Structure formats: C-alpha cells, structure tokens
A and B are shown apart, each in its own frame.
Chain A
Amino acid sequence: MGAKKKYQAVVIGSSAGGLNALKSIFEGLDKRFPLPIVIVQHVSPDAENYLPLFLNNMKKIRVKEADEKEIPQPGVAYIAPPNYHLLLEHDKSFTLTIGERVNYARPSIDVLFETAAEAYGEALIGIILTGANNDGSLGLKKIKELGGIAIVQDPDEAESDSMPRSALGTVQVDHVLNLKEIANYLNSLI
C-alpha cells in the first residue's frame, strides 16, 4: 500500500506532557499507517524505557526502541533510548551516541530532526508536541529548509506550551494542529 505523495518518514519530538500526547495520536492512528515514525521523548537518563511497551500495547503500529545501525521500516515506530542521542545517517540507518547533552537533553530532538532532515530531505514530516523547553525548534527549521513538512501541536491545547511556541517563533510551519488533527493528518497519508 505505500504512502501517498512523496513522504518517507515522520519524526516526532515531545517532552513534558508527551506521554499523553503520544497516546492521543496513537489512539487516532490507523493501523495501516505506512511510514516509519521516529520519536524522541525526553525522559530521565536512568528511566526504564517503558514508552515502546506502552505504545506497543495500544495495538496500532509496532513500536520498539531504536537499535544502533537499524534501518527504520515502514509502519513501525521507533523510540530513542534514554540517555542516548538518536541520529539518522544518509543510508537511513540509526546511530546512537552518548555525546554531550543538547538543550540540556539526551536524547535531544534537535539532534534527531537535523540528521533526519539531511537523510530524508523533502520526504520528511517533522512534528513538535508539548514540552517545557525549546528543544526541536532548530531541528524543525532544518527540516523546513530542506523541503520537508513542519507541524506543531496547537500551543493552546498542549499540556506545556513552551516547546510548540518556541518552534512557532523559529519556523514558518506548514500546520498548527491539535492532537486529533495530527492523527488525521497522518492517516490522510495512507
């Protein structure tokens, strides 16, 4: 079945309030969603990575932690492991690093978004969700610069509005959507 148009991957960045936001999006997501989704959710470094299990249990698309050198597959969602940056290479494989924190965060949304933008160019959709910092703004800008689509969660709906507002202040985005609309948008790509 393959995705309409030209898109090849979706990247999502979320922080404070992200668990509920991701849950809402996955609730609305069609099981047949055909693209890889790569997610950075800020978590404390020694947290067990329960997010893959949590989202996988929703029985939508398959969700797993991103492994180093793994190549993201259609219809699978990948979560960055706690305390590692997640990068995408030109050959679309994942790299994990323990480099310095970026925007006080590891994993950092900027690191994923900037490298994903270079890997996927105009075939990438970037989504910034709720969060209490400004991580992801520069990454979203890069996605836009390289011809991808930039989406930001409506700050009025976000549990924590700083991250969406920062993104809106940095990037001329394509869409400002609430969570339900984000799920619908993604489903429209099927």
Chain B
Amino acid sequence: MKKKQEEIQENQEIEIRLLIEALYLKYGYDFRNYSKAHIKRRILNRFQISELNSITEMTHKAIYDSDFVDKILMDLSITVTEMFRDPSFYKALRQSVLPVLRSYPHVKIWHAGCASGEEVYSMAIILREEGLFHKTQIYATDFNPLILRHAKKAEYPISRIKEFTVNYQKAGGKRSFSDYYKADDETAKLNENLKKNIVFANHNLVIDSVFAEMNLIVCRNVLIYFDRQLQDKVIGLFMESLAGGGFLCLGSKENLQFSPHFHTFEPVVEQERIYIKNYSS
C-alpha cells in the first residue's frame, strides 16, 4: 500500500517535470527553477479541473493547444496582490526613499513582476502625492502577456475597493482614495492620469537581460517562488540594472542575507526590505 503510494508520487513528479520542460521548449516559459512544491500544487489543481486522464495528457495538450497553455500560465503566475499591500512598506518608501529621489532631475523605476498592476498604481499614487510623478518613468514588467493586458486596463472588482482604501489610509495616503477611481456597480476604474508615465512591457526575469540605470527597483513576493540559484541570478540582474545609490525593494519575507550580492547593498529600512546599492559597486 505504502510502496504503491510512493511510486505514484514519483511517477507524478516525473510527469510534472516533463510538462515544465515542454512549456520551456515550446514557449520559452521557464519554470524549471521555481519552487517544486508550489508548481506541483498548481499543476495538480489544473489537472483536477481539466477532465484529462493524466498529467502527460496535459503536456500533450499544452504543446498543441495555446488556449490551454494560457490557463496553465495563469495557474503558475503569481497573480494575487492588492493595492498598497503591506501599507507600512509604502509608508517607509514615502519617508526614506522618495525624499532622496526628489533631488534627481529624472527618476527611473522598474517594477519587476508587476502582475495585474495593483502595486504599480499604488506607486503612481504616492509619487503623485509627493510631487514626483511628472518626472518619473515607471517600467512595469511581467512575463505573462495576459496579466499585463489586465494591468494596462487598471480595472479592479469593486469588491476589492474597501481593502484597497484601508491599505491606502494605513500607507499614509493624503487624500480620499475615491479621488483615484471611478466606479460602477461592478468595476472600479483607476484614473487615466495614473497611467501617464507607466510603460508596461513583457520581460521575463528568468531569461531576459538587464534594464539600464534604474533609481528604484521594486520586486516584491516574486523571489520567494524561485530556488536559491535563480534568486541569486535575479538579484544579480537587479544589481546590474541599478544606478549607484539606487534602491531595491523586496517583499516582506524576502531578504539579501544569503545572496552573494549581499555586500553590494546596504539596508535602508531593514524591516521593510528596502536596500540601497553602494556607489562604489
């Protein structure tokens, strides 16, 4: 009984690995260095609702059916976020980072792994309130084209507005959050002027190259999905993309402690995972 279960597990893992390999070979989406436990859960969820007979059938379908691949892509993407997620982070950004950026003639921000855009527009709002938005260029990137389309629309279910509003207030918001959107019965649409200085672009952290001379990089709750090797690689990518004195912001459970690039950065607000790249490196 037990041995049989072990064999089932083992076979399942081989099948999942082949599916991941197929996604890479066919489409260039590289999940090979993602958390295996996470990938397995998401693939098995999709399998259960797919009405297919095996993971191997999923692989076949993934190779020949691009609609099906879109679904798997959404399953494996990190799509759960909120506006002003971790309000204390945005407060720290306002207090410790924006005053430095204010002295620059132009500000370049890269929001890596922007998903459906909630956190990018949060940034746009605080930049506006701090009087920096007009001289800022934000590059918001994600590897998933479907979710980027969603991000560009800047429309969110009205049911989420209450949570966003509470977060906005906790993050030190200076106005009424309702100033920033128009709502109907179902949807809240963010104001067009928040999109003005944002460029949404396709970029895959796993395989694509650096951006140049960024003053601030925000990449929150993306690295936790990567194995140590891929984490190191991506932090290296950020290091190369930052100007001297540029800031790097990670998620509240991510840190640079174990990175080989640890000494390139100094903590600015340790608890909020805000780091600055040394000028000398």
A-B contact count (CB 8 A): 58
Q: Which residues of chain A are near B80, meaning CB under 8 Å?
A: 98-100
The yes or no answer to B26 lying at the interface (CB within 8 A) is no
Q: B residues 2-52 with Cβ under 8 Å of A?
A: 2, 5-6, 9, 35-38, 40-42
In the complex, the chain B residue whose C-beta lies closest to that of A90 is B36
A57, chain B: closest CB distance, angstroms:
21
The yes or no answer to A114 lying at the interface (CB within 8 A) is yes
The yes or no answer to B281 lying at the interface (CB within 8 A) is no
The yes or no answer to A146 lying at the interface (CB within 8 A) is yes
Q: A residues 79-130 with Cβ under 8 Å of B?
A: 81, 84, 87-90, 95-100, 111, 114-115, 118-119, 121-122
B1, chain A: closest CB distance, angstroms:
8
A7, chain B: closest CB distance, angstroms:
15
Binding site for A on B (CB under 8 A): 2, 5-6, 9, 35-38, 40-42, 78, 80-81, 221, 224-225, 228, 253-254, 258
Contact indicator B41/A68 (Cβ below 8 Å): no
Contact of B37 among A84, A95, A98, A145 (CB under 8 A): A95
A128, chain B: closest CB distance, angstroms:
20
Chain A interfacial residues counted at CB < 8 A: 25
Q: Which residues of chain B are near A115, meaning CB under 8 Å?
A: 37, 41
The yes or no answer to A69 lying at the interface (CB within 8 A) is yes
A89, chain B: closest CB distance, angstroms:
5
Return 30 A-B CB contacts under 8 Å, by A number: A68-B254, A87-B35, A87-B37, A87-B41, A88-B37, A89-B35, A89-B36, A89-B37, A90-B36, A95-B225, A96-B224, A96-B253, A97-B35, A97-B78, A97-B225, A98-B80, A98-B81, A98-B221, A98-B224, A99-B38, A99-B42, A99-B78, A99-B80, A100-B80, A115-B41, A118-B9, A118-B40, A145-B5, A146-B6, A146-B9
